[in-house]
Every structure is written in structure tokens, then in C-alpha cells.
Amino acid sequence: MMFKSEKKMRAALSVLAVMFGAASAPISSFAQDAAAQAPAEGQAQAAGAPKLGWYKTCSKQEDNDICVVQNLILANGGQLVTAVGLISVSGKINRKLLQVSVPTARLIPPGIIMQIDGGKGQKLDYAVCLPDKCTAEIPLTDAMIASLKKGSDVIFTSINFRRAPNPIKISLEGFTGAYDGEPVSESKLAESQRSLQEGMQKKAEEARKKLEDAQKAAKAQ
């Protein structure tokens, strides 16, 4: 029975890695070619993409309490480029995991390398690859949490099918408050997601208008 329970919980955690819970599901899913379509494959480019920052959600599944401290990096087109989740399970099962999801078309053996403030890299091996995303994971330790709290930024680097490294830099500002603080309410999260969605729609409209203006200028020549 314990084996089945562990297997069921691991499946639940895998879902969390991809969706981060039903109450906090991202606005849009990964696109297979997100890296090619959106300016998010380089750390400097990713900085300008819409984002929610660090926040925590909690839910209850059977006899376990599950909290996820997460950060979702979206491309300007709305595609999810990198999803980070620090998952804590307490109750009948006690476990902590760090999981990172990136677009597919990655080289599997290199995994994802995590660097805090440019320090020594730590490898996260891929646990599962789906048609639209690959998820890597590693046990979450107290030392790792402490380093994240002290750090200024963290970089997650995956290797794409062209064998090129794709570093994504994420600021750790707000991480400690999210980790130690109370989970966000569903209403506040919905409001933040709505605001983010409106911002992305505005950016898309501005990009569309610039393209139309450029096309008109080209025809006038």
C-alpha cells in the first residue's frame, strides 16, 4: 500500500511540476518552438518578458498539505519559457523537491544546470519529457533554500537540440518573502494573472501595429 501511495504522490508531484496546481495553472502552456518564436532563450532577453515573480500556493490532497513556491517566465507572446517550483509535501508523506520545466527539443544527458549568483553549477536531471515540455528535478535541501534566500539571482541553463546553451536568469528578489510568507489567495492570484494577461495583450497589439506600419512604409517606397 505504501508503494502505491508513494507512486501516486510522485505522479501528483509531476503534475505540479508542469501545472503547479489547478488553482495556479499558468495562463498559457509551453509552445514547442517557444524558444524560436519568442525573445526568451537568452538571459538578457528573458528579462523583458512578462512575469508574475515569486509566489506561493498551497492545497490539500488527501492526507497531505502541498505548497509550491514558484516563478513562471513567459515570452512576450505568452508562451511559458521556464517554470520553477519548490514543492513541499507534509503530512502522511513528507518530501521536498525542486522542479524546473523548459521547452522541449532539449539534449537530455546535460540536464539543467542551476547557478546561484554565478557560483558552482548544480545539475538537475530530467525526470520526464512531454510533447511540449521537459521537467528536471532534484531533492530540495535546507542548504539549497538558504542559498536561494541569500542570492540575488539564479540561472537555469538547458542545452537545446542545436547543442547551444540557453541560460534563463531569474531574479531572487521576493523569493524569501514568498517562501516564508503566507500563500496567495485565489482572488489575488487571479487578479495578478488578469493584469499580466492584459499587459501581454497590450504588447501584442503594439507589435501588430508596428508590423502594419512597417508594411505600409514598405509599400509606399
Residue 30 · residue 80 · CB < 8 Å: yes
Angle ∠(148,175,68) on CA atoms, nearest 5: 95
* pLDDT given at position 123: 97
One-letter amino acid at 43 equals: Q
Q: Which three cell numbers stand for residue 84?
A: 520553477
Residue 209 has pLDDT above 50, yes or no: yes
pLDDT digits (tens, 9 = 90+) for 39-74: 333 333 343 444 568 999 998 888 899 999 999 888
How far apart CA 68 and CA 57 sit, in angstroms, is 5
pLDDT at 180 over 80: yes
Any idea which residue has 516564508 for its cell?
Answer: 180
Weakest-pLDDT range from 31-35, 164-168, 183-187: 31-35
Give the span between the Cα atoms of 190 and 200, in whole angstroms. Answer: 15
Residue with cell 540561472: 155
Please give the share of the chain, as a percent, with pLDDT higher than 90: 49
Q: How confident is the model at residue 184 (pLDDT cuts 50, 70, 90)?
A: confident
Q: Is the pLDDT score of 13 beyond 60?
A: no
Model pLDDT for residues 114-128, shown as the tens digit of each residue: 999 999 999 999 999
Task: Tell me which of 75 and 38 has the higher pLDDT.
Answer: 75
* 47-56, 87-96, 158-167, range with the lowest pLDDT: 47-56
More confident residue, 140 or 199: 140
Report the chain's mean pLDDT, rounded to a whole number: 76
Cell of 213: 506600419
pLDDT higher than 70, residue 33:
no
Residues comprising the chain, all counted: 221
Choose the CATH number for 2-185 among 3.40.47.10, 3.30.420.10, 2.60.40.1880, 3.30.70.270.
2.60.40.1880
Taking CA 114 as the corner, what is the angle to CA 113 and CA 119, rounded to the nearest 5 degrees?
Answer: 110
